[in-house]
Amino acid sequence: MEQKVNSETLSKVLYPNDGIDAGRRLRLKQQVFFVSCSLQDMLRNLDKRGIGLRDFPDHWAIQLNDTHPAIAVAEMMRLLVDEGHLGWDQAWDITTQAIAFTNHTLLPEALETWDLNLFNSLLPAISN
């Protein structure tokens, strides 16, 4: 069973040693935590101003610089579909208009990959 991690633990050490399973788990949790908090704050900001989800790309541009925050694409889709009750195609249109990706590093060690079992165990709502 997955242990709960408090926010202080998540933010205490950025870029933990991902050479061990515990470090990889913490690193993925950190990425999801920071990405989801940021996206939810943007969505909450729109809601406070009375702006609908469909207008998200007119108010926010999200630049993913390198692979670390790349989980934002899946999390944005989850938030729009599961929380915002939009259809898949409409959510995908919003996501692709609002999120751009740049990677400046071509070295294999800088390109993150995640084991599917780890992804499934920590993020069942995204991976299913």
pLDDT digits (tens, 9 = 90+) for 64-77: 876 667 889 999 99
Q: How far is CA 73 from the centre of its chain?
A: 6
Residue 123 maps to a domain: no
> What range defines the domain where residue 96 resides?
7-104
Integer CA distances (angstroms), 111 to 20, 60, 70, 114, in order? 17, 26, 11, 10
Taking the C-alpha atoms of residue 42 and residue 73, their distance in angstroms, rounded to an integer, is: 14
pLDDT computed for residue 124 by the predictor: 65
pLDDT computed for residue 53 by the predictor: 95
Neighbours of 28 (CB within 10 A): 20
Residue 118 maps to a domain: no
Residue 21 maps to a domain: yes
pTM over 0.85: no
The residues that bridge with 102 in the sheet, in sequence order, are 65
Taking the C-alpha atoms of residue 55 and residue 99, their distance in angstroms, rounded to an integer, is: 14
- Per the structure, the count of domains in the chain is 1
